[in-house]
Amino acid sequence: MTDTVKTQEASTTRAITTGGRLDASAGRARKVLSRPWASFGSIVIAVLWTIPTLGLFISSFRPRDQIRSSGWWEFFANPQVTFENYAEVLQSGTTQLTMVESFINSIAITIPATVVPLMVAAMAAYAFAWIDFKGRNALFIFVFALQIVPIQMALVPLLSSFSRGINLFGLQVTQPLGASGGFAQVWFAHSMFALPLAIYLLHNFMSEIPGEIIEAARVDGASRGQIFFRIVLPLTMPAIASVAIFQFLWVWNDLLVALVFADGAAAPITKLLAEMVGTRGNDWFLLTAGAFVSIIVPLIVFFSLQRYFVRGLLAGSTKG
């Protein structure tokens, strides 16, 4: 009984000390970031970051001759507005698909390529954080090290595998590349490229969950699955939302993987925009309007999940 009381007192003292140090660090960080020079620097960075987007937006409404002959800032001296660029972009297409179809293809590619790696990464991160098994640290370091492998190095092996089709446990998951023109090979490619970083980020968040919560659930008879789905997953939702936004934007704006694996009727909007410019870049002015057509969905996703995104970025900085 005495040993138990001493252990509880020591744990309480350690928690209070740790919490005090974290609160002090958070207070110093808030004090530094709230200084006038920090606010001024943030405003300058925001303005510099916004200027190119503003120029692109203004250029999208300018006639093609003015876009080719003068800079976007000339709009304020001679304002002329036209919707011809947007009309041409929306009416453009190839022999196999239109702009609307490529837009739908991007949605069909991005949603599974975001959900699947997040599901796998969440379970893997939980295993690395709270399940003690042999070789856990070495395997985690190996997964973390996969982030330094350039995507370009993996394209040729993946292309060789996809050309024969992927067979898992006797089930033909993907047909040979080019045979069906589906999305499966694009989902696999994006999921594999996203897993190392997603596992690393979610592991860091899950490892910050107080161990007392996990131990209390085990004492109550909860299984590993129940702990994961009922306790860890809800607590990790802000971090999952942050990773989901990053992954969604990455897949939606991707062109490299689309050029290699998404061919024909499965091409996303980024590939269609690249083909719209022409082989010699003659119609490059259409990219001004095409860029804003393509960012409609990412903007909706970002602003819808913004509060989770901010919570996910700040989560883990303090405890208690």
pTM to 2 decimal places: 0.74
Average pLDDT, the chain: 78
The pLDDT tens digits of the residues spanning 166-205 come to 665 555 555 555 544 578 888 888 988 899 999 998 998 8
DSSP-assigned beta bridge partners for residue 93: 98
The pLDDT tens digits of the residues spanning 148-158 come to 888 888 887 77
The pLDDT tens digits of the residues spanning 283-301 come to 777 888 888 888 888 888 8
Give, as one character, the DSSP assignment of residue 175.
P
Region of poorest pLDDT, from 31-45, 112-126, 132-146, 285-299? 31-45
List, in order, residues 6 or more apart from 264 with CB less than 8 Å away.
96, 178, 181
Q: What percent of the chain has pLDDT over 90?
A: 11
Q: Closest Cα partner for 160 from 143, 185, 139, 126? A: 185
Is CATH 3.40.309.10 the right assignment for the domain spanning 92-314? no
Average pLDDT value for residue range 294-315: 73
Region of poorest pLDDT, from 24-28, 90-94, 254-258, 308-312? 24-28
- Most confident range (mean pLDDT) of 18-27, 109-118, 183-192, 299-308 is 109-118
Other C-beta atoms lying within 10 Å of the C-beta of residue 183: 18
Ordered by start, the domain boundaries in the chain are: 92-314
Q: Which residue has the higher pLDDT, 173 or 114?
A: 114
Asked if 114 contacts 247 with a C-beta cutoff of 8 angstroms, the reply is: yes
